[in-house]
Structure 1
Amino acid sequence: MQQIAAAAGVSVTTVSHTLSGKRPVNPATAERIQKLITEFEYVPDSGAQRLKSGRSGMIGLAVPDISHWYFGRIARGVEEVADELDYGLIICSTSNSDPRREKRYFNLLRTRSIEGLIYTASREISASDELVRVSGNSPIVFADEKVDTLPDVPSVTSSNFVGAQMLGRHLRDLGHTRAVIIAGFAGLHSTIERTRAIKESFPNALTLHGDFELKSGYDLVSDLLAHEVRFTALFGCNDYMAIGAMTRLREAGLRVPEDVSVVGFDDVDMAAIVTPGLTTVRQDMAEIGRRSAHLLIAGLHAGGFDAVESESLPTELILRGSTGPAPR
């Protein structure tokens, strides 16, 4: 900065005011300084700027597994908005909410290395959890999952109940009366809402819990078959478990949808290319990421989250070949 000031024949303070825009500078002088900044390829010291402003210009995103297709879409949405609004982004993979890893990332909030955090839960949050303590005085927005123990923290989710309700009514309208539910982690808000919605149409549906992965759906159907549970409709709490279930049904000689209709939730890319195509509910994970970032940054700019309200995004029923009339 001193070299630029000397070349422009002005004080270092005048160069600083030109860079910050906080004080008026003669237009001709400012133009001369800007040309020299370009010529010298000067980049302001972000560390010094942070010390002056008390802000890092960084936000964080904590997801259970960044390599997972689902969370990658959320991350892409957050990144788009962070870039648009000139924030840096640190993405933290919590290994399915490993407390040790989470504490490390929460410490970034405490030390203000990041200004706020977008958090995606993969398990039930208890009242004694570290997240509960951090959320009391740190800027946090939940993406994808509400946390029932922290109702005052803003969140962006899909309309899980409405989406699953559409699936349940679709299967019921096809004449099915015996259904099973392959659900996700028991304490998650999305699992609770989707299960509750399906049971509106199938109140006696047997519910088994898995971990949202392909193998989980496969193994749970193996258990159902081993115990000779009779069903003509299967609801997977996400597409991966539904596709794993379809694979095991096919191995057992059961046809989809002639013998068993199968539905999922999410509309992942694979849902459209498996045979038969998977009937599911589409939710926009990238938009969840975008809206979460907007909420977080809006709260940061406002100096608080009192006026920031949670959002529930619409879902869409996608009909494909995995559902059909109940067998006679």
Structure 2
Amino acid sequence: MNVPFIRPRRLRVSAGIRRMVRENTLQAADLVYPLFIVPGENIEEDIASMPGVYHFSADKAVEVARKVYELGIPAVLVFGLPAYKDEQGSSAWDMHSPVQQAVSRIKEALPELTVITDVCLCQYTTHGHCGMLHGHKVDNDSTLELLAKTALSHARAGADMVAPSDMMDGRVLAIRQMLDQQGFHDVAIMSYAVKYASAFYGPFRDAADSAPQFGDRKSYQMDPANAREGLREAALDVEEGADILMVKPAMTYLDVVRQVKDSFDLPMAVYNVSGEYAMVKAAAANGWIDERRMVMEMLLSMKRSGADIIITYHALDAAQWLKEEA
């Protein structure tokens, strides 16, 4: 009996056939674009370690958000650099701070664009850590009220979703209770559920002026060696009321993304972080890679691993490239 010669290449011979059998696809609707907001007006400043990413004042952020919306990207994630810092990080919940002002202006101009806000204290505190200090130790429980106050201020400004990134235990529950008590039942929580103490955050800390003034964040962000611990973190956030789970960073933790995706039935987000972005930009600037092909392959790998939502500084370029390919 003759065994037929198996030819998987039959399904690769043309672009049309490859499209027919493609298992995963990337679209602009999968992307979220981060924005860095600074005090002032008419400001658009380069961020040296992240070519193509800028500090914007709230008025300029509206212009960028309009471009995001026109490209079919459904959401922005807003970070802020405050006008003042203190030990508590009180500018984080100041309604006159850049995040609150930008959220209000973007929602007024583009009500259909989803606005997500990062909830943390690191860029608002003089010490650069993500919570209240007792000596040189970050105190978990006294931080929760401050995070909840910050999330509430974002909701009052018009945010559709808040994204706590601090990695304090219990913060999702504290935020959910605060939002519900104040009538913001429809404001969703995208939890940075599985956030690692990663070396890939360096350019972001320049962009957000959020580097710790002493020590590191290993006592509250996760050990890169651990995957099962991430499942526990995600489970706790689900119990506390998270609506979306996130793994951060993306590229070096795609195994964790798949495990979280397979374990929970919530939407799955990943953050394609600043260090991943900067490496691509540096290699492209030196002519070592095809930036477009590499970016699209990276983003597609995140979809393949289970991500429904990809937060990425490449979002504007990727959405434009997808539009050209359509």
Greater radius of gyration (CA): 1
| TM-score (norm: length of structure 1) | 0.28
